[in-house]
Amino acid sequence: MPSAPALGTTRRRVAALVTAALLIPLAACGGSDDGAKDSGAKTGASASGAAGEVPAAKLTVLAAASLTDVFKTAGAAYEKKHPGTELAFSFAGSQELAAQVKQGAPADALVTADTKTMDGLKSDTGTPKVIAKNRLVIATGEGNPQKIESLKDLADTKVKVVLAASEVPVGRYSAQVLDAQNIKVKPVSEEPSVRAVLSKVELGEADAGIVYKTDAATATDKVDAIEIPDAQNAIADYPAATLKTSEHSEAAAAFVEWLSGAEAQKILRAAGFQQP
């Protein structure tokens, strides 16, 4: 029979072994939890960098003048959906925007009112994609005091007509439809953008002008829109592309892609633009 000291020593050893056996599973559980936390810290993403999320950035978008109203609405919708992203638009005639790009103006994306202008910037942009279409109408003063009914009425020398300059997309489209009908018009002025044409008619400085349907729709309280038959009309394409000089290429590409999505297309349709 073991002595009292030996028995005490044996009991202490057994207790130690039992304690160790109990602690091993707990340690394993604790290690697993810490490992998961470490893994989460390494693979999990913060709110600003979650997988698939657009990085926050302030983007400058050069856009055709005819997009002025609709892009303000679209921009607000995009910013709401992408917190931290801020859009700054610069609106002008497409030819002016192209000149800015060539001169190295700091910007992230470009949307023009024709493919010709965009095609001339292939070395400066990513691959463009048409996001909308538009068509022409004749804008007259409210109530159409000159009783203009069709394109041929614009040839009347008593009617003061204003057109966009030939280098402006809407100016080229206007010349295209007039030439196709063999109609000679002597405009009282040639403007640098479609909004400038519309403004002349709104202010009564011209009796009529050829503008996009969507532009006339923004001033229904000041101008009337005379439809041009499909057979005599021209369709304007609006391509969008990122700029290679952008310092926020990922965010710019995300915005350009969004313009072709359901939300943006719904906004464009509501403003009168046609499906691309």
pLDDT surpasses 80 at 13: no
Question: Which distant-in-sequence residues (6+ apart) come within 8 Å of 246 by Cβ?
Answer: 59, 107, 108, 109, 252
pLDDT of residue 55: 79
> pLDDT, tens digit, for every residue of 179-197?
999 999 999 999 999 999 9
CB 174 within 8 A of CB 137: no
pLDDT band at 52 (very low <50, low <70, confident <90, very high): low
**Average pLDDT along the chain:** 86
Say if domain 134-235 classifies as CATH 3.40.50.620. no
φ, ψ for residue 245, nearest 5 deg = -85, 0
pLDDT of residue 54: 74
Handedness of CA 140, 144, 145, 146 (dihedral sign): positive
Measured CA to CA in angstroms, residue 219 lies from 25, 189, 261 at distances of 76, 20, 27
CA angle, 92 then 98 then 100, to 5°: 80
Can you identify the CATH homologous superfamily of domain 58-133+237-270?
Periplasmic binding protein-like II (3.40.190.10)
> pLDDT, tens digit, for every residue of 146-157?
999 999 999 999
Between 26-35, 80-89, 134-143, 256-265, the lowest mean confidence (pLDDT) is in: 26-35
Query: One fold for both 58-133+237-270 and 134-235?
Result: yes
